[in-house]
Amino acid sequence: MERRSFIFTVWAIWPTRMFAGIKSILPMRTDKGFKVSASEARFGIHYKMKGVTLNVLDIKISGKDTDNDLAVFEQTGLTPNGGPPLHIHPHQDEWFYVIEGDYIFQCGNEKFYVKPGDTIFLPRNVPHAFIQLSEKGKMIVSYLPAGKMEAFFEVTDRWTSAPSSEEVMKVFADHDMIVVGPPLKV
């Protein structure tokens, strides 16, 4: 009888143990609210984008918090007359809320002058880019879904010198973005 009880117990526990293991590798959604203070980042890491621009990106809401549904960054723009190349996010919508500074955004064939207090929405599959016109800027940037943006900023933070255009294209592609043109010019 003891052997039968042992085997039954093992078979009864096995699905629970398997689920616990799977649960630990799957994305999760936080079930607790949290606060990220001004000038702070969600996990204490200030990503310094190098190569494409010299901006600082702080995660405010991580894809790890939202089961990858949303990521929110505060971007401090330190690159006057700079911005990313014209690119497409095939799987993400993106929106910006400008806190400080002036920008020109291109979305498709349209260009928009964007200033503090303005919001711009960039739908997935539409080529877009921006250029920072002011000496300094600050924006809230959101990606829906979060996608691979946190990993993208981790990579650009590790660059020690300006990457080649081929390397920029590869890193964009590795993170589900397609470069389709050069950065905007003033």
The per-residue pLDDT for range 45-94, each reduced to its tens digit, is: 999 988 778 899 999 999 999 999 999 999 999 999 999 999 999 999 99
Q: How far apart are CA 41 and CA 6, in angstroms?
A: 50
The answer to whether 72 and 140 are in contact (CB under 8 A) is yes
Please name each of the domains of the chain with its CATH number. 46-183 (2.60.120.10)
Q: What is the pLDDT of residues 6-47, one digit of tens each?
A: 555 555 555 555 554 554 455 588 888 999 998 899 999 999
Element (H, E) at 140: strand 137-144
What pLDDT score does 23 carry?
47
Full-model pTM: 0.82
Distance CA 89, CA 179 (A): 9
